[in-house]
Structure 1
Amino acid sequence: MILGIPKRVLIIVAVLVGIGIIYVMGVDKRSSEGATGGPGGCKVTVTADVLNVRAAPDPNAQIVGKFNQNAQTGAEPVVQNGFRKLTDSKWAKTDFLAPVAGTACG
């Protein structure tokens, strides 16, 4: 017993907290992968093995996420410096994105 709580209860609580943390960390990725993009409904597929998502349309900008090959995500028709805007403060190199047929990526 630790602090009057049986070890078995502490272990169960720790496992549940761990599962909760893993779930919460995955929510952002799931929501971005299922996004419909900007007002035009642009959606793209990743063609690189692993694609870095950056905080700005600059190859030296901070990496704020990654997508694996064939992942699909919503995007906006905005392209700057060879990067497509995915959402606010999330940009990916256009060389490694292919617009999904039937979506308006501009």
Structure 2
Amino acid sequence: MPNRLTIPGLKVPKLTGWPLVGILGIGLAAVALVYGSATGNLGDECTMTVQADQVSVRSSPSTSGQPIETLRRGTEVGAEKVVDSGFRKLTGGQRWVPAGSVAATSGSVC
């Protein structure tokens, strides 16, 4: 039998089964929240960076959609995980850009 370290006056209850699983789950959730806060990767944020020299933001996922804005290379913009007919949906209403003209920003969840 292995030697056990005993500290006089310290009584540690045995944890097994579901109570142990619950405590481990809470601990892992706390670590994940701290890690997410430290890296800025908390949640499902999707950010895209414009790769083309300039790209027209359109009102629908089509080249016939009304152009409503122009973005230049290097611009970071919030996006959704939705791609329709080769167009990526941006946040903030009906805003679409060709999916090939943007790429997920480093650290983004897209």
| TM-score of the alignment, normalized to the shorter chain, above 0.5 | yes
Structure 1 length normalisation: TM-score?
0.60
Gaps of 5+ in 1: 1-38
Equivalent residue runs for 1:1-106 within 5 Å: 40-87=44-91, 88-105=93-110
| 1:101 Cα deviation from its structure 2 partner | 1.6
- The count of aligned residue pairs is 67
Identity %, equivalent residues: 36
Q: Rg bigger for which structure?
A: 2
Amino acid at match of 1:56: S
Name the one with the larger helix percent. 1
Structure 2 gaps, min length 5: 1-42
Q: In structure 1, give the amino acid aligned to 2:103.
A: A
